[in-house]
Structure 1
Amino acid sequence: MKIVVPIMPRSLEDVANIDLDRLAAADLIEWRADFLPKEEILTVAPAVFEKFVGREVIFTLRMSREGGHIELTNEEYIHLLKEIASLYQPEFIDFEYYSHKEVFEEMLDFPNLVLSYHNFEETPENYMEIMSELTSLSPAVVKMAVMAQTEQDVLDVMNYTRGFKTLNAEQAYATMSMGHLGKLSRVAGVITGSCWTFASLDEASAPGQIALSAVHKILNILEE
C-alpha cells in the first residue's frame, strides 16, 4: 500500500514554503488545487510541478459538494484538467465521476485517470453498484471514500474492496471509510487490496486522515 499526502497551497508563497524533507515518507503527492482561486491554478502550477519534479503527483480539483473548496462548471473543470495534463503530465488526474459524468467522454484519451466517488454523509446502500460502474470503465484507479456511521460500515467497505480486488485483479482500488470509525480502513490495504492510503502533514484533507508519520510506522509493522 502506498501513502498519498495531499498538499493544499493557497498561494505561491505556500508552495515555496513546503518542506520536502517532511514529505520523504510519502509515495505520492496529491495537489489539491481547489484551495486556490480558479484563476490562479494555472499560475501556481509551474511552481508546484517544479517543487515535486521526480515525484509522482495526483492532480485533484474537488468541488465544495465533494468536500472541496471550489465551484467550477463542467467546462471549467475539464479545461483545467486538460491544461494540467498536457502541460505537466502528472502521474494521475483525479476525476470526480458522478459530479461530472456528462463530460467524462472528453477524458477518455487520458490513461491515468483516478475515477473518484465521495460521500461525506454515509456509506450508501448502493456502494457495490457504484464501485461496479467505476470498475467497468477501467480507469487507472477506482477511488471510493465514504463516511462511516457504524462499525459495520467500515467492515463492509473493507469486505467489498477485497471482493472486487479478488474478482478484478488487474484493477487498482483506493478505498477508505472516512471519519473516526473509519481509521482502520486506512491502514488495511494489506488485507483488502486497497492500493493507496491518504495521510496528512499539518492539515487533513478529509475526516479521519492519520498523520504521515503514524501511517508510515503502522504500515511498516503490518507489511513487514
Structure 2
Amino acid sequence: MKIVVPIMPRNVADVEAIDLDRLADADIIEWRADFLPKEEILKVAPAVFEKFLGRELVFTIRTKAEGGHIELTDQEYVALIKEVAALYHPDFIDFEYYSHKDVFDEMLDFPNLVLSYHNFQETPENFLEIMSELTSLSPAMVKMAVMPKTEQDVLDVMNYTRGFKTLNAEQAYATMSMGELGTLTRLSGRITGSCWTFASLDEASAPGQLPLGTLKKFLEVLE
C-alpha cells in the first residue's frame, strides 16, 4: 500500500518552503490545488512541478461539493485540469466523476485518471454500485471516501472493498472511511486490497488522516 501525502500551498512561497526531507516516507504527493483561487493555480503550478520533479504526483482540484475549497463550473474545472495536464503531465489526475459527469468525455484521452467519489454525509448503501460504475470507465485508480456514522459503517466499507477485490482483481482502488471512526480503514489495505492511503504532513486534507510518521510506523508493524 502506497502512502499519499497531500500538499496545500496558498502561494509560491509556501511551495518553496516545503521541506522535501519531511516527505521522504511519502510514496506519492498529491497537490491539492483547490487551496488556491482559480486564477492562481496556473501561476503556482510551475513551482509545484519543479519542486517535486522525479516524484509521483497526483493533481487534484477538490471542489466544495466534494469537501474541497473551490467552486468551479464544469467547463472551468475541466479546462484547468486539461491545461495543467498538457503543460506538466502529472502522473495522476483526480477527476470528480459524479460532480462533473457532463464533461467526462473531455477526459477520455487521459489514461492516468483517478476517478473519485467523496461523501461527507454518509456511507451510501450503493457503495459497491458506485465503485463498479467508476471501474467500468477503466480509470487508473478508483477512489472512494465516505463518512461513517457507526462502527458498522466502517466494517461495511472494509467488507465492500474486500468483496470488490475478489471480483475486480485488475482495478486499482483506494477506499477509506473518514473521521476518527474510520481510521482503521486507512491501515487495512493489506486485507481489503486498497492500494493507496492518505497521510498528513502538517495539515490534514480530510478528516481522519494520520500524520505521515505515525502512519508509516503502523504500516511497518502490520506488514
Q: Same fold (TM over 0.5)?
A: yes
* 3-state DSSP of counterpart to 2:205: coil
2:222 paired residue number: 222
Q: CA deviation at 1:31?
A: 0.1
Q: CA deviation at 1:127?
A: 1.0
* Number of corresponding residues: 223
2:123 paired residue number: 123
Residue 25 of structure 2 is aligned to residue 20 of structure 1: no
Residue 75 of structure 2 is aligned to residue 71 of structure 1: no
* 3-state DSSP of counterpart to 2:57: strand
* 3-state DSSP of counterpart to 2:98: helix
Q: CA deviation at 1:125?
A: 1.3
**Structure 2 portions without partners, runs of 5+:** none
What percent identity do the matched residue pairs reach? 79
1:58-112 CA-partner distances (Å, limit 9, x unpaired): 0000111211111111111111111111111110000001000011011000000
Cα distance in 2 for partners of 1:37, 1:27 equals: 27
**Structure 1 portions without partners, runs of 5+:** none
Cα distance in 1 for partners of 2:125, 2:170 equals: 26
Residue 136 of structure 2 is aligned to residue 136 of structure 1: yes
2:203 paired residue number: 203
1:108-127 CA-partner distances (Å, limit 9, x unpaired): 00000000000001101111
Q: Which amino acid aligns with 1:94?
A: D
Q: Which amino acid aligns with 1:173?
A: Y
Q: CA deviation at 1:51?
A: 0.1
1:44 paired residue number: 44
* 3-state DSSP of counterpart to 2:68: coil
Cα distance in 1 for partners of 2:200, 2:76 equals: 28
Provide runs of 4+ in structure 1 moved above 3 Å: none
What's the Cα RMSD here? 0.6
Map 1:104-119 → 2, pairs under 5 A: 104-119=104-119
Q: Which amino acid aligns with 1:175?
A: T
Cα distance in 1 for partners of 2:172, 2:140 equals: 7
1:177 paired residue number: 177
TM-score normalised by L of structure 2: 0.99
2:2 paired residue number: 2
TM-score normalised by L of structure 1: 0.98
Q: CA deviation at 1:128?
A: 1.4
1:87 paired residue number: 87
Q: CA deviation at 1:162?
A: 1.0
Cα distance in 1 for partners of 2:119, 2:99 equals: 11
1:165 paired residue number: 165
Q: CA deviation at 1:138?
A: 1.3
Q: CA deviation at 1:132?
A: 1.2
